[in-house]
A and B are shown apart, each in its own frame.
Chain A
């Protein structure tokens, strides 16, 4: 079975400070991991994905995430937050070999940016 846990339902940071959104996963097989962003009243957009290549993955808008197998984590970071980063972020685990649901979304982390 596989699962994904986003450790914070809400994160608030000041503009210009670092962002850390935490994600832990569980998978019996080699998973693929994704981060998506959902702005209010807009569709989901892929930020980045890990598919067993480099463990440090760079995405759009300055975001990056590091796959740490020993810690079963895939935390999303950004060095300097911008007001436009305020949105809901979803960590996703996927595995072709899972007998259950092939794609599982985390519960989401709402990121707020303080001026």
Chain B
């Protein structure tokens, strides 16, 4: 069974631009969560989607948004990029909800975003 895939793997943007990252979960998984990893702040939970609905949300500004499609694929969007948004963005999938059901998450390799 194929693992979680994320595209693109690397991305360079400039301040003020917006970016969309994509995540394809493991087949049969309905929950997709997004995380931001930086050297300064560590790993932080962004949000979780389940059956096309945002179920849980971390403490990030509204510039960070996401959505999930009927095939469970998910996209994350960051608008008006700031230098501090440079990070590794990780996506994880699970069969059911990661927060409510404490399901095991399977992580993708991440998308490394550099904002100049």
Contacts and interface: CB of A to CB of B under 8 A. Distances in A.
A72 interface: no
Contact of A104 (B45, B90, B105, B107): B45
A107 B42 contact: yes
Contacts, number: 52
A35 to B, nearest CB: 12
Interface residues of B, number: 24
Interface residues of A, number: 21
A49 B107 contact: no
18 contacts: A43-B4, A44-B107, A46-B104, A46-B105, A94-B99, A94-B102, A95-B99, A96-B100, A101-B58, A101-B59, A103-B45, A103-B58, A104-B45, A105-B44, A105-B45, A106-B42, A107-B42, A108-B43
- Which 8 pairs, one residue from A and one from B, show the smallest C-beta to C-beta distance? A105-B43, A43-B107, A103-B45, A44-B107, A102-B99, A102-B56, A101-B58, A51-B102
Given A46-B104, A96-B99, A102-B99, 16 more contacts: A32-B102, A42-B109, A43-B4, A43-B107, A44-B90, A44-B105, A44-B107, A45-B107, A94-B102, A96-B100, A101-B59, A102-B45, A103-B45, A105-B35, A105-B43, A105-B45
